[in-house]
Chains A and B, each alone.
Chain A
Amino acid sequence: MALKIPIPGRKKESAPEPGDGAANGNGASPNGTNGDGPTRAEKVAKAKQATVHHGTAAAKNTTDWLDERVNGTGIYTAMLSRKVPKGTNWFYTLGSSVMFIFSMQAITGVFLAMYYTPSATEAYSSISHITNEVFLGEFVRGLHKWGASLMIILIFLHMARTFFFGAYKYPRELNWVIGVVLIVLTMVMGLTGYLLPFDQRSFWATIVANNITASGPVLGPYLADFLRAGPDFSATTLSRFYALHMLVVPGLIGGLIAAHLFLVVKLGTTAPPWVKAPRPKGSRPSELVPAGVPMVDATEMNLNGHSGNGHVEVSENGASLPTAETDGAAEGPPSEGEAS
Chain B
Amino acid sequence: MTRRKAFVVGSAALGGLAGAAVVLPVVGFAIAPVLTRGEERWEAVGTEDDFDRETYRTVVFTETPGIGEAGKTTAYVRRGSAEIEGEDPNGYVAISTRCAHLGCPVRFVQAAGNFICPCHGGVYDFIGERIGGPPVRPLDRFQTRIRNGFVELGPRYSVTNQLKPVRPRDPGEFTGGIWEYLYPPRPTVFPPPN
Q: Does A pair with B?
A: yes
Known contacts A208-B102, A232-B64; A225 and B33 CB within 8 A of each other = yes
Rounded to whole Å, the gap between the CB of A285 and the closest CB of chain B is 52
* Distance, CA A210 to CA B172, complexed state (A): 10
Q: Is chain A's binding surface mostly helix, strand, loop or mixed?
A: helix
Interface residues on A, range: 20 to 34
Rounded to whole Å, the gap between the CB of A234 and the closest CB of chain B is 5
B177 at the interface (CB under 8 A from A): no
Known contacts A211-B103, A233-B70; A225 and B34 CB within 8 A of each other = yes
Across-interface contacts of B172 in A (CB, < 8 A)? 211-212, 214-215
A303 at the interface (CB under 8 A from B): no
8 Å CB contact of A210 from B33, B68, B170, B184: B170
Rounded to whole Å, the gap between the CB of B140 and the closest CB of chain A is 12
- Binary interface encoding of chain B residues 12-48 relative to chain A, with 1 for a CB under 8 A from any of its CBs, else 0: 0000000000000000001101100110000000000
B71 at the interface (CB under 8 A from A): yes
* Distance, CA A238 to CA B71, complexed state (A): 12
| Docked-complex contact B186 and A120, CB < 8 angstroms | no
**Which A residue sits closest to B70, measured CB to CB?**
A120
| Docked-complex contact A221 and B170, CB < 8 angstroms | yes
Q: Which of B38, B63, B170, B172 has the most CB of A within 10 A?
A: B170
Known contacts A225-B188, A233-B70; A215 and B170 CB within 8 A of each other = yes
8 Å CB contact of B182 from A198, A212, A217: A217
Rounded to whole Å, the gap between the CB of B178 and the closest CB of chain A is 10
Across-interface contacts of B70 in A (CB, < 8 A)? 120, 198, 203, 233
8 Å CB contact of B173 from A204, A221, A231: A221
Q: Is chain B's binding surface mostly helix, strand, loop or mixed?
A: loop
Across-interface contacts of B168 in A (CB, < 8 A)? 231
Rounded to whole Å, the gap between the CB of B63 and the closest CB of chain A is 6
Across-interface contacts of A235 in B (CB, < 8 A)? 64, 66-67, 71
B169 at the interface (CB under 8 A from A): yes
| Docked-complex contact A204 and B169, CB < 8 angstroms | no
Known contacts A211-B171, A232-B63; A218 and B188 CB within 8 A of each other = no
A91 at the interface (CB under 8 A from B): no
* Distance, CA A226 to CA B30, complexed state (A): 8
| Docked-complex contact A211 and B67, CB < 8 angstroms | no
B189 at the interface (CB under 8 A from A): yes
Known contacts A211-B103, A215-B170, A226-B31; A221 and B68 CB within 8 A of each other = no
Of residues 205 through 231 on chain A, the ones whose CB sits less than 8 Å from some CB of chain B are: 207-208, 210-212, 214-215, 217-218, 220-222, 224-226, 228-231
Rounded to whole Å, the gap between the CB of A47 and the closest CB of chain B is 46
Of residues 64 through 122 on chain B, the ones whose CB sits less than 8 Å from some CB of chain A are: 64, 66-68, 70-71, 102-104
| Docked-complex contact A121 and B67, CB < 8 angstroms | yes
Of residues 155 through 194 on chain B, the ones whose CB sits less than 8 Å from some CB of chain A are: 168-173, 182-184, 186, 188-189
Top 4 A-B pairs ranked by shortest CB distance? A215-B172, A120-B67, A214-B170, A229-B33
Would you list 9 pairs from A and B whose C-beta atoms are within 8 A, ordered by A residue? A120-B66, A120-B68, A218-B182, A221-B170, A221-B186, A225-B33, A233-B67, A234-B66, A238-B67
